[in-house]
Amino acid sequence: MPAAESPNLRWLAVVSLVETVSLVLLLANLATVHVPQVASVLGPVHGFAYLATIATAFLLPVDTWTRLLTLVPAIGGLLALSRARRSPSDARRPEKEWRR
Amino acid sequence: MSKLLLSAHVLAAIVFIGPVTMAVSLFPRYAGQALVEASRRLVGAGPAAVSDGEAPPDAVDGHLSSAEPVTRLLHRISRVYSVLGLAVPVLGLALAIRMRVLGDVWLLASIVLTVIAAVLLAAVVLPAQHRAMALLDGEPGDGPASASAVERWVSGAKRLSMSSGIFGLLWAVVVVLMVVRPGSTTGS
């Protein structure tokens, strides 16, 4: 994570990472040992991270396409994050900076 | 595992949904007060002019405390805890699938009410809060809080209070459904 990361995008970065990593772990579990307890714990974690990514994007001052990207399963959050970092969107403009 | 999920579900509901319910119900009052303070500062009348008008709810020993920091905190709680609160339906869904009660009427009714509450929060309550915060921060260029915009928000504050109240009521109904589980044969 770059040091100049906007505090807004940091939240999106965290939940997006959880979204993707939890799914990878879920699939890894399914493909290898397949412990049902692991699925029981990671399933809700992934579900929460997916919804939290969407909600975070809709609460942040980013453009509509970035928000819609979060709807993509598994990697939507990371896609949205890279788009938000690339484009000089509202999230970077200080006057639109949300109070934390 | 079901017990763990159930504990997490109930804990998340208490810790995350509780503060949101409280924050959204208090927000209209404090935001209205903060906006009125801000617009009076703008026209030159200091806080002293406020105290001989209607008594502000926060006046303690004749001292007028600014409602603005409280308003910001309430808005922050509303936003952050709303997102965290998503854990509650997710855990609930996982639990329902595990306990094979997903098709039960009481659960379907709860899900419908939860969705209504979520839409109310995301589409009505949070945008109205956002508008109030934008007025407090001042749109870039035209100074903090133009008087007519403030008036418009304050006159709409009753509707926001009502939406917040309905939001709380929906959760109360969902909790009752979760406890009573009408028509359910599992547990008491």
- More confident of the two residues A50 and A97: A50
DSSP state letter for B96? H
User: With an 8 Å Cβ cutoff, is B123 touching chain A?
Assistant: no
Q: HEC profile for chain A? A: CCCCCCHHHHHHHHHHHHHHHHHHHHHHHHHCCCCHHHHHHHHHHHHHHHHHHHHHHHHCCCCHHHHHHCCCCCCHHHHHHHHHHHCCCHHHCHHHCCCC
Over range B124-150, report the average pLDDT: 77
Residue B62's alpha-carbon distances to B7, B44, B46, B110, in angstroms, are 46, 20, 14, 47
* Residue whose token pair is 């936003």: B79
- Output the pLDDT for position A7: 66
pLDDT over 90, % of chain A: 26
User: With an 8 Å Cβ cutoff, is A55 touching chain B?
Assistant: yes
Q: Is the dihedral of CA A54, A57, A58, A59 positive or negative?
A: positive
User: With an 8 Å Cβ cutoff, is A6 touching chain B?
Assistant: no
* pLDDT 10s digits, B141-182: 455 557 788 888 888 888 899 999 999 999 999 999 999 988
Q: For residue A80, what are the contacts with CB-CB under 8 A and spacing of at least 6?
A: A12, A16, A53, A57, A62, A66, A67, A69, A70
Contact B133 A99 (CB under 8 A): yes
* pLDDT 10s digits, B75-116: 999 999 999 999 999 999 999 988 888 888 999 999 999 999
User: With an 8 Å Cβ cutoff, is A7 touching chain B?
Assistant: no
Structure tokens at B164: 């917040």
Query: Taking 50 as the threshold, does the pLDDT of residue B8 lie above it?
Result: yes
Chain B, 49 to 78: residues with Cβ < 8 Å from chain A are 72, 75-76
* pLDDT 10s digits, B39-84: 777 666 544 444 444 545 544 444 456 888 999 999 999 999 999 9
Query: Taking 90 as the threshold, does the pLDDT of residue A63 lie above it?
Result: no
Q: For residue B159, what are the contacts with CB-CB under 8 A and spacing of at least 6?
A: B128
Domain ranges of chain A: 7-87
pTM of the model: 0.79
The closest CB to that of A95, out of B8, B94, B140, belongs to B140
Q: Partners of B60 in the beta sheet?
A: B63
Sort residue B100 into left (φ over 0), alpha (ψ -120 to 50) or beta: left
Chain B: give the shortest CA distance to residue A48, in Å.
5
